Amino acid sequence: LAKTTQPISMDSYEGQEVNITCSHNNIATNDYITWYQQFPSQGPRFIIQGYKTKVTNEVASLFIPADRKSSTLSLPRVSLSDTAVYYCLVGDRSSGYSTLTFGKGTMLLVSP
């Protein structure tokens, strides 16, 4: 299971774009990169997933460089309600992979 490293915390203001980078230097060929969002007292919520290049959905964009050793979650024009912890996970579905391991995540605080 590839280990991930993310900043412990980030601060932003409403309306700004926020980029959270995750390092995963030992990512394997079959691994996907997945991001979750967690609000206090709630379970994490799946945001976005990608394998390479760029993925965009209604919530965020995920940028993955060619070497796939890092990834960046981009949140456009954040609001106060985007204050949450964001987790980066790396793993695959082959070979009976079954554990879903969360690290410390990045605490994003959005201020007015």
Partner 1 sequence: EADIYQTPRYLVIGTGKKITLECSQTMGHDKMYWYQQDPGMELHLIHYSYGVNSTEKGDLSSESTVSRIRTEHFPLTLESARPSHTSQYLCASIPAGTVLEAFFGQGTRLTVV
Provide the binding-site residues for partner 1, judged by CB under 8 A. Answer: 32, 34, 36, 40-46, 49, 89, 91-93, 96, 98-105
Q: How far is the CB of 32 from partner 1 (least distance, A)?
A: 4
Tokens of residue 51, six digits: 């394998």
- One-letter identity of residue 90: V
Measure the CA–CA gap between 48 and 89, rounded to whole angstroms: 11
Tokens of residue 72, six digits: 């960046």
Q: Does residue 80 sit in helix, strand or coil? A: helix
Q: How far is the CB of 61 from partner 1 (least distance, A)?
A: 18
Q: State the Rg of the chain over Cα.
A: 14
Q: How far is the CB of 15 from partner 1 (least distance, A)?
A: 27
Q: How far is the CB of 73 from partner 1 (least distance, A)?
A: 14
54 vs 93 by CB, closer to partner 1: 93
Side-chain half-sphere exposure of 3, counting CA atoms within 13 A: 1
